[in-house]
């Protein structure tokens, strides 16, 4: 059972003319809720606000924060996932956003996903998706509602052998998982793909980069090839719901779970679980 | 006032958990309706069926055709635009489409757009959009619901001086208008951009290519640069609602309305207006 609020009120109904549906004209965030409340909340809200500005959405961010607090106060405080969707609201036919001064705000609370139990301690196998991610400077980085490539990527495997799939861009560079970002360890450096032209700049990825900086661990954001991944000493994927999953296999390569991966995993568990 | 049916029934309500909203996981068609009924109907339905197959949507195309006929029978027969939206239906959180065996079918009827009266006889000026279209082999060609780039492109100008905007891909090649396809005339040949990696393969574009073939007029589908456009002898944009608009200016270049443009315009007016 999913609880949903639309524009500050419990609702199970949205206009079929909403631009979120017509064009994917909007954004979303998925936030892990634990007994203390939303986690990594400021990073999520900052990304939402920054991306709203880029898309020119008319959003009152104070109002959204207030609605989230009211919404969560009505829910039982169990481990769950809050999804925030913001669209440009109802519009006519046609791409022109002029005249769309409002927004649609959807809050929905989902049970915590049924992730594989061994994913955190033991690690996961990565599937190699053949669906390629497009390149688009205007849209890269944002968690917008245009997510067909992720749907097609995720549809490629259904066996439980793989907990996540790795996606490449149309030039064959590694971008991210279908629902996560990727890091590798090279020497003593954390490396994660550059997302200037493709991918979602995850809140968890940002938190890891920030923590590494304040811990004196070197980081690099750059383009990353399949071969560099295969030669890495450690590999992990991350998102703001599950935290960090060590990657123990991809294609013919296998890895042990490394020390830096465990360190980063602890950073995230500290904020996500307590 | 817009009339809407959802899944075969009059409705003003859609689930906020529909995957069309969550991910843009679906397709649409916009069809001009005249007094005889829907125009270019078979081309629209063929594209919808082909694209549904590519996305793995579970759609009963006979049912949709039947719903369209019933829907239109309840409407006053004035000049209007039918929008058909098909999504993968309601789903949980997460990209995986497994288990989504249904679909959501939305039919909506809009008044005929308030296009500039001189666009057909006199021609239009094209705005040069700075928003670039991404490259994605998996999605190119389809009229799917991931249309944020078109929204951003169309948001770039609001003056009535320009009736349409021209969009380039991230490599600087011409792809299409925000809501139309583009043709140029080079010598005696109709040239239109290749849409293998970007753009929407419009029904009107397809009709023009088919008609040209059966009329013995040469056509080329290939990559097209800004310079080639500027050197063209004729330029026009087209879609299945407005037909053909001659382009009379773009950047510093101006054109007369040419004979081949007028020929193609007549082809379309014949099927769209009568």
**How far apart are alpha carbons B95 and A164 in whole angstroms?**
11
Q: Which two tokens stand for residue A46?
A: 């900052």
CA distances from B211 to B177, B260, B263 (A): 21, 12, 11
Q: Which residue has the tokens 């980081």?
A: A219
Within 8 A of A2 by CB-CB distance, chain B residues are 17, 92
Let me know: does B57 contact B38? Beta carbons within 8 Å. no
Closest Cα in chain A, distance from residue B260 (Å): 28
What gap in Å lies between CA B266 and CA B274, rounded to an integer?
11
pTM of the model: 0.96
A4: which chain B residues are within 8 Å (Cβ-Cβ)?
A: 16-17
Query: What is the domain partition of chain A in residue ranges?
Result: 3-111, 124-273
Mark yes or no for CB contact A146/B150 under 8 Å.
no
Residues of A in contact with B94 (CB under 8 A): 113, 154, 179
CA atoms of B247 and B163, how far apart (whole Å): 10
Q: Is the pLDDT reported for residue B198 higher than 90? A: yes
> What one-character DSSP code corresponds to residue B172?
S
Q: How far is A11 from B223, CA to CA, in rounded Å? A: 48
- A68 to chain B nearest CA, in Å? 17
Q: What is the average pLDDT across B221-230?
A: 98
Set of chain A residues whose Cβ sits within 8 Å of the Cβ of B87: 21
Q: d(Cα A61, Cα A29) in Å, to the nearest integer?
A: 13
Sequential pLDDT tens for chain A (274 residues):
678 999 999 998 999 999 999 999 999 999 999 988 999 999 999 999 999 999 999 999 999 999 999 999 998 767 899 999 999 999 867 999 998 988 999 999 999 999 999 999 999 999 999 999 999 999 999 999 999 999 999 999 999 999 999 999 999 999 999 999 999 999 999 999 999 999 999 999 999 999 999 999 999 999 999 999 999 999 999 999 999 999 999 999 999 999 999 999 999 999 999 7
A271 close to A39: Cβ distance less than 8 angstroms? yes
pLDDT at A77 (0 to 100): 62
Of B108, B135, B138, the CB nearest to A17: B108
Closest partner residue to A96 among B16, B145, B155, by Cβ?
Answer: B155
Please work out, in degrees rounded to the nearest 5, the angle formed at the alpha carbon of residue B233 by the alpha carbons of B228 and B237: 80
Q: How far does CA A1 lie from the centroid of its chain?
A: 23
Nearest residue on chain B to A97, alpha-carbon basis: B155
Cβ distance A16 to B13 less than 8 Å, yes or no, reads: yes
Q: In the 3-class helix/strand/coil scheme, how is chain A assigned residue by residue?
A: CCEEEECCEECCCECCCEHHHHHCCEEEEEEEEECCEECCHHHHHHHHHHHHHHHCCCCCHHHHHHHHHHHHHCCCCCCEEEEEEEECCECCCCCCCCCCCCCEEEEEEEECCCCCCCCCCCCEEEEECCCCECECCCCCECCECCCHHHHHHHCCCCCCCCCEEEEEECCCCEEEECCCEEEEEECCEEEEECCCCCCECCHHHHHHHHHHHHHCCEEEEECCCHHHHHHCCEEEEEECCCEEEEEEEECCEECCCCHHHHHHHHHHHHHHHC
Q: CA-CA distance, A172 to A198, in Å (whole number)? A: 12
Q: Give the model's pLDDT for residue B75.
A: 84
User: CA of A259, closest CA in chain B: separation in Å?
Assistant: 30
In chain B, pLDDT over 70 holds for what percent of residues? 99
Mean pLDDT of B74-82: 83
Distance of CA A96 to the CA centre of its chain: 28
The share of chain A scoring above pLDDT 70, in percent, equals 99
List helix spans (H) across chain B.
19-23, 41-55, 61-73, 148-154, 203-215, 226-230, 259-273
pLDDT value at B233 more than 80: yes
CA distance A189 to chain B (A): 31
Confidence band for B78, pLDDT divided at 50, 70 and 90: confident
Determine the 3-state secondary structure of B266 from DSSP. Answer: helix
Distance from CA of A1 to the nearest CA of B (A): 10
Q: How far apart are CA B254 and CA B234, in angstroms?
A: 10
Q: What is the CATH number of domain A3-111?
A: 3.30.470.10
Contact A96 B134 (CB under 8 A): no
Rounded CA gap, A247 and A234, in Å?
8
Report the alpha-carbon distance of residue B34 to residue A229 in Å, rounded.
57
How many Cβ contacts (< 8 angstroms) between chains A and B? 205
Average pLDDT, chain B: 95
Q: Are A58 and A100 in contact (CB under 8 A)?
A: yes
Which residue in the set B13, B18, B132 is minimally distant from A137, CB to CB? Answer: B132
Identify all chain A residues contacting B100, using CB atoms and an 8 Å cutoff.
none
Report the pLDDT value the prediction gives residue A91, as an integer from 0 to 100: 81
Per the structure block, which two tokens stand in for B176?
A: 């299409």
Rg (CA), chain A: 19
Tokens 């049912």 appear where? B63
Q: Which fold has domain B124-273?
A: D-amino Acid Aminotransferase; Chain A, domain 2 (3.20.10)
pLDDT at A101: 87
Q: Give the tokens for residue A229.
A: 């991944």
Which residues in chain A are closer than 8 Å to B144, comparing Cβ atoms?
Answer: 148
Q: Do A23 and B22 touch (CB under 8 A)?
A: no
* Cβ within 8 Å, pair A14-B18: yes
């Amino acid at each position: 059972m999913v609880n949903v609020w639309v524009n500050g009120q419990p609702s199970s109904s949205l206009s079929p003319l909403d631009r979120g549906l017509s064009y994917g004209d909007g954004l979303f965030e998925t936030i892990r809720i634990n007994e203390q409340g939303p986690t990594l909340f400021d990073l999520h809200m900052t990304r939402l606000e920054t991306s709203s500005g880029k898309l020119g959405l008319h959003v009152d961010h104070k109002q959204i924060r207030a609605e989230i607090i009211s919404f969560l106060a009505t829910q039982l405080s169990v481990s769950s996932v809050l999804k925030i969707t913001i669209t440009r609201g109802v519009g006519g036919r046609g791409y022109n956003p002029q005249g769309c001064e409002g927004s649609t705000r959807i809050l929905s609370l989902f049970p915590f996903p049924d992730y594989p139990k061994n994913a955190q301690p033991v690690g996961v196998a990565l599937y190699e998706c053949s669906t390629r991610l497009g390149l688009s400077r205007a849209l890269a980085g944002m968690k917008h509602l245009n997510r067909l490539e992720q749907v097609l990527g995720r549809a490629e495997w259904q066996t439980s052998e793989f907990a996540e799939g790795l996606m490449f861009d149309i030039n064959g560079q590694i971008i991210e998982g279908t629902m996560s970002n990727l890091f590798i360890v090279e020497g003593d450096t954390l490396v994660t793909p550059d997302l200037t032209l493709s991918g979602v700049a995850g809140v968890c990825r940002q938190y890891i980069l920030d923590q590494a900086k304040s811990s004196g661990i070197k980081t690099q954001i750059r383009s990353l090839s399949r071969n560099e991944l295969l030669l890495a000493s450690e590999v992990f994927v991350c998102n703001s719901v599950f935290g960090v999953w060590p990657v123990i296999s991809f294609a013919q390569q296998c890895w042990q779970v490394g020390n830096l991966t465990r360190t980063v995993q602890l950073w995230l568990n500290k904020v996500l679980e307590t």
